[in-house]
């Protein structure tokens, strides 16, 4: 007991000393008067500088025209007989939620009916609502649980909506503002993970309890079916369907990458005997689909890391393992997406960062597959599936080819081009190449370069390097759209790097950059920059970097470790103070990725790269452009605020802009999005041309 008390006292003293050493903690007070004065002052300076450049207005106008264009694809979400869509344009700034008959949508002549006008609702309630999605009541889908955010944060208000009357249901299910989730079990019962009061949220700010709530009863009286630990990341509920059968699931996230998966079965919770780092991805024909993040030996077989397998669900609930192999990637491949239709499994596979789509069928003893007849050399993504049929939609795009939506059927493997975006720039003028850089430890790091066919190879090209490098997120080719029109057409070169920490080559690629190995991610990034310079694509004078969230941390490390490589940095909604990240908003949930800075052995490696602790007065840095949001309730705006203030006080000129809404996405409307895009690209062109 004495040692426990002593360690607690030492921790408190340590944090107190840190607070004394950090004169910018006041900027962590999100709505503090002094903090908002700082934001207002810096915002105005940045607006004055960047909107007065010769580039700004033209980029803003072109970007807004693209974002508001009526030629955009109305992406479908199928529920029963209807296709639902959320749409923003110049007349619907905050958007409308609408639907049309599926048959009309497929005919190419949708007759959209507006269900919910977010602009009108915002005016009525005097709240800047942001639509965050809806989940429907199976099988008729005449009722929905609609999620609305105040200003775009992750915390949402959930209200029950009648799709036939187009009204919120009086005395219907209503969940006050909180981070969490909900789903229909049936018409009169929903599954809820939310803030239920004292001691019901984790230290990461997510729900710790899951309840079954019956219509007509108070939320406080809902039946508790799961409770995790306060030190978990959080607990979330889900209802998985397999034909007419449904399973009430509880996911207790111990860390960001480990979880206990439970099923409410015969009025009690059954914990599934599966690896804690495996990711369940649906149930189909009584087969639980499992994505393995590490080797698993079960039922006399060893399934390798990255494999997709299935387990008989009935047997699993009885504690038995009947396992079938589905897919095993090789060293150059990974699974980037898993979807199910009524009878089929869809796997989206990446090989050397290009996509192929496969249909898998289960015949009671084994899985068989056939490739979907989709375009090559780009990125495929399943957009929508229908749990009542084998119809689905997928999209194809690459850097120079606009998105095309395809309607398809997994039963007979038919595919039909449905709708394409218009080209926003002349792709014929440009070429795409994939190169390999060699990182510090010898690992080959692939990256794409998009530039003019006749671009000079003399180091003079303004070049933008983008990457992410974390959380097993794969960065794949995408249509450059506004970036193509406003960056490539202005002589720019765009580079996308597939550094470690991502998922491009499976779980091993991600795990190679975790915790004490984090520096590998940054070494990869530096290596790509050096390779671009060595190839004379660009030079430090003309090289800029951009990243958001974990990518904001990436570029923060980039310019503090290697300021000699870059002349411009766009650092968006970033993590930067890695000493306190786990104490700010959802930060504690990411300790599985970065480590725990309160443990001396782990802080020893985190402090080596944490940008806030590694910025120095006597070093020359590029003039960084920090961009964040007051209403970001995932990555605290204090990261960007404190770094900006510290650099200014050291005498380093910077640009800073903080949108007063928008959440972690940074913007809530097309106008806000166009403004941020125009400021960012104006800054880059000003610095790099």
Phi/psi for 278 (5° steps) reads -80, 145
- Cβ-proximal residues to 253 (8 Å cutoff; 6+ apart), any chain: 206, 232, 233, 234, 235, 236, 259, 589
* Catalytic, out of 92, 510, 652, 664: 664
Residue where the block lists tokens 């979907």: 372
Cα dist. 543→446, 454, 563, 570, 656 in Å?
18, 19, 11, 12, 20
Lay out the sheet containing 391-397: strands in order across.
Answer: 379-385, 391-397, 404-409, 414-420
Lay out the sheet containing 323-327: strands in order across.
Answer: 279-284, 287-291, 308-312, 323-327
* Catalytic, out of 235, 355, 381, 549: 549
- How many CB atoms are closer than 10 A to CB 561? 18
Question: What is the C-alpha separation between 155 and 500, in angstroms, rounded?
Answer: 31
Residue where the block lists tokens 């609930």: 317
DSSP sequence for 137-165: -TTT--EEEEEEEESS-S-EEEEEEETTT
Please return the burial class of 325, using the count of CB atoms within 10 Å of its CB with bins 0-12, 13-18 and 19+: middle
Is 321 in contact with 336 (CB distance < 8 Å)?
A: no
Judge whether 333 counts as a catalytic residue.
Answer: no
How is residue 633 written in tokens? 């309730």
How is residue 173 written in tokens? 């299910």
Separation of first and last alpha carbons in the chain:
63
Question: What is the C-alpha separation between 322 and 95, in angstroms, rounded?
Answer: 47
How is residue 562 written in tokens? 């290697």
Judge whether 610 counts as a catalytic residue.
Answer: no
Q: Give the three-class secondary structure for 179.
A: coil
Q: Give the three-class secondary structure for 385.
A: strand
Residue where the block lists tokens 């905050």: 94
Please return the burial class of 486, using the count of CB atoms within 10 Å of its CB with bins 0-12, 13-18 and 19+: buried
Phi/psi for 315 (5° steps) reads -65, -40
**DSSP character at residue 122:** H
Q: Tell me which residues are annotated as active site.
A: 549, 664
């Amino acid at each position: 007991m004495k040692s426990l008390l002593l360690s607690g006292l030492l921790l408190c003293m340590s944090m107190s000393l840190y607070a004394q050493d950090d004169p910018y903690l006041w900027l962590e007070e999100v709505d503090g008067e002094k903090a908002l004065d700082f934001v207002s002052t810096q915002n105005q300076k940045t607006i004055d500088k960047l909107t007065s450049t010769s580039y700004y207005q033209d980029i803003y106008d072109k970007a807004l025209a693209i974002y508001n264009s009526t030629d955009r694809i109305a992406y479908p979400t199928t529920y029963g007989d209807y296709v639902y869509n959320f749409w923003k344009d110049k007349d619907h700034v905050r958007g409308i939620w609408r639907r049309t008959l599926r048959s009309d949508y497929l005919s190419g002549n949708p007759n959209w009916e507006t269900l919910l006008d977010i602009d009108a609702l915002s005016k009525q309630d005097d709240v800047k609502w942001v639509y965050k999605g809806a989940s429907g009541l199976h099988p008729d889908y005449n009722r929905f649980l609609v999620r609305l955010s105040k200003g775009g944060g992750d915390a949402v208000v959930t209200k029950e909506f009648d799709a036939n009357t187009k009204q919120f249901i009086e005395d219907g299910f209503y969940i006050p503002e909180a981070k969490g989730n909900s789903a229909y079990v049936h018409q009169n019962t929903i599954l809820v993970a939310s803030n239920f009061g004292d001691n019901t949220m984790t230290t990461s700010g997510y729900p710790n309890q899951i309840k079954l709530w019956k219509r007509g009863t108070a939320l406080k009286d809902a039946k508790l079916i799961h409770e995790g630990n306060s030190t978990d990341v959080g607990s979330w509920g889900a209802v998985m369907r397999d034909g007419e059968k449904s399973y009430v699931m509880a996911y207790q996230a111990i860390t960001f990458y480990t979880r206990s998966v439970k099923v409410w079965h015969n009025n009690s919770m059954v914990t599934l005997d599966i690896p804690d780092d495996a990711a369940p991805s649906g149930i189909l024909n009584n087969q639980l689909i499992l994505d393995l993040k590490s080797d698993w030996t079960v039922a006399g077989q060893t399934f390798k890391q990255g494999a997709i397998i299935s387990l008989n669900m009935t047997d699993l609930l009885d504690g038995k393992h009947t396992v079938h192999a589905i897919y095993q990637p090789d060293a150059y491949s990974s699974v980037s997406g898993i979807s199910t239709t009524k009878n089929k499994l869809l796997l989206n596979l990446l090989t050397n960062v290009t996509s192929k789509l496969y249909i898998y069928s289960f015949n009671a003893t084994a899985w068989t597959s056939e490739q979907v007849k989709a375009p090559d050399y780009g990125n495929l993504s399943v957009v929508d599936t229908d749990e009542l049929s084998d119809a689905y939609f997928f999209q194809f795009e690459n850097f120079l080819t606009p998105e095309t939506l395809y309607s398809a059927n997994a039963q007979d493997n038919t595919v039909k081009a449905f709708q394409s975006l218009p080209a926003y720039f002349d792709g014929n003028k440009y070429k795409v190449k994939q190169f390999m850089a060699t990182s510090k430890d010898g690992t080959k790091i692939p990256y794409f370069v998009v530039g003019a066919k006749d671009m000079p190879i003399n180091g003079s090209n303004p070049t933008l390097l983008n990457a992410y490098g974390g959380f097993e997120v794969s960065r794949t080719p995408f249509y450059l759209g506004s970036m193509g029109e406003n960056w490539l057409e202005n002589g720019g070169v765009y580079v996308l790097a597939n550094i470690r920490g991502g998922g491009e080559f499976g779980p091993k690629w991600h795990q190679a950059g975790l915790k004490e190995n984090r520096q590998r991610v940054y070494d990869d990034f530096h290596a790509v920059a050096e390779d671009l310079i060595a190839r004379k694509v660009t030079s430090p004078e003309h090289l800029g970097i951009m990243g958001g969230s974990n990518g904001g941390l990436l570029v923060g490390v980039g310019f503090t470790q290697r300021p000699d490589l870059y002349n411009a940095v766009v650092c968006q909604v970033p993590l930067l103070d890695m000493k306190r990240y786990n104490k700010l908003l959802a930060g504690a949930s990411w300790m599985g990725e970065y480590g725990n800075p309160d443990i001396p052995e782990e802080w020893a490696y985190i402090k080596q790269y944490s940008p806030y602790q590694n910025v120095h007065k006597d070093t020359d840095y590029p003039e960084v452009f920090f961009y964040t949001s007051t209403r970001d309730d995932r990555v605290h705006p204090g990261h960007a605020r404190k770094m900006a203030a510290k650099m200014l006080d050291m005498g380093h000129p910077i640009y800073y802009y903080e949108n007063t809404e928008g959440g972690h996405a940074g913007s809530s409307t097309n106008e806000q999005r166009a403004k941020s895009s125009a400021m960012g690209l104006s800054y880059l062109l000003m610095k790099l041309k």
